[in-house]
Amino acid sequence: MALEVFGKIVEPVQKTRFRPAGWNGKKKLSIIEAVISSPKKLVLNNFRIVDESQDFHGSVIVEDGMIAEVLEGEARAAGGLVIDGGGLVLMPALVDLHAHFREPGAPEKETLESASLAAAAGGYGTVVCMANTDPVTDTLAQAAAIKHRCDALGLIDLYPALSLTRGMEGKALSEITRAAHSEVTRLFSEDGKDMPDERLFLAAFAASRRAGVTVSCHCDLDGEDAATGRALRLAARADARIHLAHVSTAAAVDLVRGAKQRRSGPAGCPVSCEVTPHHLALTEADAAALGADSFGKVAPPLRSEADRRALVAAIAGGAIDAIATDHAPHTKAGKERGAPGFSGLETAFAVCHTTLAAPGSAERDTISLSRLSSLLSAAPARILGLGAAGPRGRGRIAPAYRADLCVADLDAAWTVDPAAFKSRGKNSPFAGRGLRGRIIMTLHRGGVVFQQTAPQMSFPRN
């Protein structure tokens, strides 16, 4: 018996794992409806397999939640569930270095459940959530509690960032001093609060160096360019790894480029940076149209077309390491009052694909799907120290990496409707926009955790 999913054939070799309630043999069956929970063996046949170092037609065999084999052509199924991809793209699940999950403290904006569902729907398998919760996430016990509650949902892996100072008050260091070899936190950040006290900032960098964890700097104090220069200077003095969050100006990109050249060495580059999909795709004109002090407000603000072009060129030129969402859900009333940020998990891939990689993109500097995969998966995984093969390795499609994967239909054309978001934050600057390319399935540790069922148009392939 073969089942049809997205018009493709799915062959349930282990029929007991399929419980197609109400399936009449004709209706298209949602894999989620079919309740597949992490089959022991899964064969993903007939996919275009893309990660940062490969792009070819082949198959992947998953065993016990790990990638066991990657082959050219078709894999022979010997037991297990077989999914025929019909040539769709199979990529590593995306890794987000920067999101706000609002728990604890603001369930009206987001919860771990709604955020996890949104992340899975966006193709994400691993997310770092920022520490500006209520209370602030400044102890390892708090970070562990958030991580364990989220990971238990089984949709994504969450790594809460630890704040640099207690209560984000800028007075005394948090438990970053005790976080060496932590399994719980892989990134330190004071989020939107900068560190006005230089001595404390240096002490935080020194603690991060001892812990072997990167500090993500948001650089808002006295303007992005000045704050970026200051953070880079102090990190170099402490010889610590630094990651610049949501770089948004041409000048800040130049500063990062310069710092990378100065600090590159055999130990690997200790300077990395991210940009957001909204800074790559939108400008201050979009912010004005949405309401610069309400629905178009974000930190850092949407910039000039010249800045936006500089970011796109830096992506193509390799100066930017990662794309991160800065997913920042708010209530409608909060946005009306000027709360900064957008919900971004569910549109990130499509916005980046449409802007940077889709055929017919308006940009001069387009990139390959492999490069896009690197920016969204392998590079952020490396920044978190999760990029090498092994039980925790992710971001690549290779043996001994985790089977955190997503399936994309690059030809799907769809219109963003925030009302349909799984996130509780329904505010998106892309509302009503047509995008090209969509995540249609996400697998976490070899189990299907999301499948797109909404109707969508597909352009014929040529």
| DSSP string covering 161-199 | PBPSBGGG-SSSB-GGGG-TT-SS--EEE-TT-----HH
- State yes or no: is 326 an active-site residue: yes
User: 443: closest CA among 1, 144, 27, 36?
Assistant: 36
* Closest CB 411 distance from Zn ion, rounded Å: 32
Provide the CB-side half-sphere exposure for 386 (13 A, CA): 28
Give the active site residue among 84, 138, 326, 404.
326
CB 271 within 8 A of CB 263: yes
Task: Select 276 or 377, whichever has its Cβ closest to Zn ion.
Answer: 276
* Closest CB 218 distance from Zn ion, rounded Å: 7
* Closest CB 18 distance from Zn ion, rounded Å: 41
Binding mask 8-27 for Zn ion (x = CB under 5 A): --------------------
Among all residues, whose Cβ is closest to Zn ion? 326
Please report, as residue ranges, which positions from 117 to 136 form the binding site for Zn ion (by CB under 5 A): none
**Other beta carbons within 10 Å of 312:** 24
* Closest CB 347 distance from Zn ion, rounded Å: 16
Judged by DSSP in three states, 116 sits in: helix
| 152 φ, ψ (degrees, to nearest 5) | -65, -20
**Distance separating alpha carbons of residues 53 and 129, to the nearest angstrom:** 28
Task: Select 347 or 366, whichever has its Cβ closest to Zn ion.
Answer: 347
Which H/E stretch holds residue 320?
Answer: none
| E strands present in 81-235 | 81-84, 89-92, 94-99, 124-129, 157-160, 187-189, 214-217
Judged by DSSP in three states, 244 sits in: strand
Site for Zn ion (CB under 5 A): how many residues? 1
Task: Select 84 or 326, whichever has its Cβ closest to Zn ion.
Answer: 326
**Distance separating alpha carbons of residues 117 and 167, to the nearest angstrom:** 28
Task: Select 60 or 112, whichever has its Cβ closest to Zn ion.
Answer: 112
Binding mask 294-333 for Zn ion (x = CB under 5 A): --------------------------------x-------
Q: Determine if 96 is a binding residue for Zn ion (CB under 5 A).
A: no
Task: Select 130 or 256, whichever has its Cβ closest to Zn ion.
Answer: 130
Task: Select 131 or 357, whichever has its Cβ closest to Zn ion.
Answer: 131
Q: Determine if 51 is a binding residue for Zn ion (CB under 5 A).
A: no
Q: Determine if 224 is a binding residue for Zn ion (CB under 5 A).
A: no
* Closest CB 73 distance from Zn ion, rounded Å: 43
Report residue 183 as tokens.
């399994």
* Closest CB 275 distance from Zn ion, rounded Å: 13
User: Which positions are annotated as active-site residues?
Assistant: 326
What residues line the site for Zn ion (CB under 5 A)?
326
